Amino acid sequence: MRLGFIGVGNMGGPMANHVVAAGHDLGVYDVRPASVEPLVEAGARRSTSVADAAEGAEAVLLSLPMPSDVEEVVAGDGGLFDALEAGTAILDLTTSSPTLSRELANLGVERGISFLDAPVSGGVYGARKGTLAVMVGGPEDVFATYEPVLACFAAKVVRCGEVGAGNVVKIVNNMLAFINMMGVTEALLLGVKAGVDPLVLREVIQASSGASFVWDSGTRAILRDRLGPSFTTTLAGKDIGLAVDLARELDVPIPMGEHTQGILASYRDNGFAEEDVLATIRSLEGQADFVVRGLAPEAG
């Protein structure tokens, strides 16, 4: 297919690279021109604007930081609604607002342009390896047409329902993950300061009722002290904020979600805005006067 891809940063870049490698004719655009260079070298077309990336495209993929960015790129002046022809589609890989996704989809119907919300899970590592999970909301026929494109960078692509459902699943998943992450940092620090060998603590809990993917991967990263900003506290706060907004819209109580949102906001505003979510354990270590980071480089 002839496609466009807008937003080729830490997540979008690797995903776009897989699309190029699969043989698609891909035009790429980013507000940071340097992000486009590796993709052009890999065979993508350099685009100079949103409209340029959309020219002649059967579909345009988006990977953007915030819902406001999605709204501007899709419905703003010179955006995709102005540039795309009827019969084309927008595949939004951004973790965004389900309400906004539905609003944009409805506007797209008036123009003959389909809209799929298709947020991804698996982080930068999964994007590079092509093993992401993609949660899609939208009509079955549109999903069937573009599922092969999404499969270029995914191990699992699931249609979750109509437009908005993909983002509902994604923000619920992320809310749960961030609640778990905050618990993992506290539990690891408490257990190790109380005198238990960190590898023993990690192994036993992984085989017990406290086990989770977050415990396994999070404790490994902390004990190895490999906490590069693969998912920043700012982005985590944005995602859990979307969950809190949805809960308020539907009048669903989520006290743990709201509490975790407050914790993340505090970390964001106190030096951890651009650091990985798990790197916030440094704050707890300072309060406990005890460091667990790097205690077990062999954790695996």
CATH number, domain with residue 93: 3.40.50.720
Give the end of a domain, one of 143, 162, 181: 162
Q: Please identify which residue in the block is written with the tokens 């573009």.
A: 146
Instruction: Note whether 178 and 72 are same-domain residues.
Output: no
Strand duo 2-6 + 25-29: pairing: parallel
Per the domain annotation, does 44 fall within a domain?
Answer: yes
Per the domain annotation, does 116 fall within a domain?
Answer: yes
Provide the pLDDT for residue 107: 97
Set 129, 156, 170, 238: catalytic member: 170
Per the domain annotation, does 295 fall within a domain?
Answer: no
Is-contact 274 232, C-beta < 8 A? yes
Provide the pLDDT for residue 40: 96
Instruction: Note whether 102 and 56 are same-domain residues.
Output: yes
- The reply to whether 129 belongs to the active site is no
Instruction: Note whether 17 and 101 are same-domain residues.
Output: yes
Give the end of a domain, one of 162, 193, 220: 162
Instruction: Note whether 34 and 154 are same-domain residues.
Output: yes
CATH number, domain with residue 254: 1.10.1040.10
Which residue range forms the structural domain that includes residue 209?
168-288
Instruction: Note whether 152 and 200 are same-domain residues.
Output: no
Q: In whole angstroms, what is the distance from residue 241 CA to residue 262 CA? A: 10
Q: Hey, is 90 helix, strand or coil? A: strand
Instruction: Note whether 154 and 29 are same-domain residues.
Output: yes
Is-contact 50 80, C-beta < 8 A? yes
Per the domain annotation, does 299 fall within a domain?
Answer: no
Provide the pLDDT for residue 18: 98
Q: In whole angstroms, what is the distance from residue 247 CA to residue 100 CA? A: 15
Instruction: Note whether 115 and 237 are same-domain residues.
Output: no
Give the end of a domain, one of 106, 129, 162: 162
Per the domain annotation, does 96 fall within a domain?
Answer: yes
> Would you state the structure tokens that stand for residue 218, as one six-digit string?
């999070």
Q: In whole angstroms, what is the distance from residue 247 CA to residue 99 CA? A: 12
Instruction: Note whether 24 and 157 are same-domain residues.
Output: yes
Instruction: Note whether 133 and 22 are same-domain residues.
Output: yes
Q: Mean pLDDT of successive 10-residue segments in the chain (300 residues)?
A: 96 97 97 95 96 97 96 96 97 97 97 98 93 97 98 98 98 97 98 98 97 96 93 94 96 98 97 96 98 94
Phi first, then psi, for residue 80 (nearest 5°) are: -65, -35
Per the domain annotation, does 300 fall within a domain?
Answer: no
Number of domains the chain contains:
2
pTM of the model: 0.92
Phi first, then psi, for residue 3 (nearest 5°) are: -130, 165
Taking every pair of Cα atoms in the chain, the longest distance, rounded to a whole number of angstroms, is 65
